[in-house]
Amino acid sequence: MKAAGHEPVRRRQRELSHKQKGSANREKARVKVARAHARVADARRDFHHQLSTALIRENQAVAVEDLAVKALGRTRLAKSIHDAGWSGFVAMLEYKARLYGREFQRAGRFTPTSQTCSLCGVKDGPKPLHVRAWQCRSCRAWVDRDINAAVNVARAAGLAVTACGAQVRPDLVPAQRSEAGTHPKSRRDAA
């Protein structure tokens, strides 16, 4: 899926490439390319602000995996990785967590979150990206790759809770009922 803001950038760059070097029209085209890039950056930043604010307001604690963004930028996913602006988004999450008094944790970069079964804790080894669900060799349970990694990130950050709802780290203050992930009804539902 392509981002909607990239088409104007692509078109403006193509127009720029057809202009003669040193001409006034090339300078005008260069300014148009810069403006198109600025619009995409502004849209990304606005989205990051809205999403990070919503995540921090709705949750008492947020955990992220400390990804090696620079290393991922050298893979075939480089364009997508850089386009997402992961490090800027994580920085926003972190400062907004401090601002709203929420807990922010980073799971270690070398924690094998997608390779470890979240049910039994056995490391099952690396899997290619096209494998979205897999069966643990030890406990024979089928686990979704993304949900399994999310549970492992929360556990690695020390934010996990047991199945019965008791906290794994009892020294933490429990979330208030009004902020425990429930969403208020929208105005349309109330009418």
Percent residues over pLDDT 90 in the chain: 26
Please report which confidence band the pLDDT of residue 4 belongs to, taking 50, 70 and 90 as the band edges: low
Q: What is the pLDDT of residues 111-125, one digit of tens each?
A: 888 888 888 888 888
Global pTM exceeds 0.95: no
Every domain of the chain and the residues it spans: 115-171
Average pLDDT, the chain: 79
pLDDT at 184 over 70: no
- Strand 103-107 to strand 133-135: parallel, antiparallel, or no bridges (unpaired)? unpaired
pLDDT at 31 over 90: yes
Q: How far apart are CA 146 and CA 158, in angstroms?
A: 18
Distances (CA, A) of 181 to 23, 60, 151, 176: 58, 8, 16, 10
Least confident of 9-23, 66-80, 105-119, 145-159: 66-80
pLDDT at 154 over 70: yes
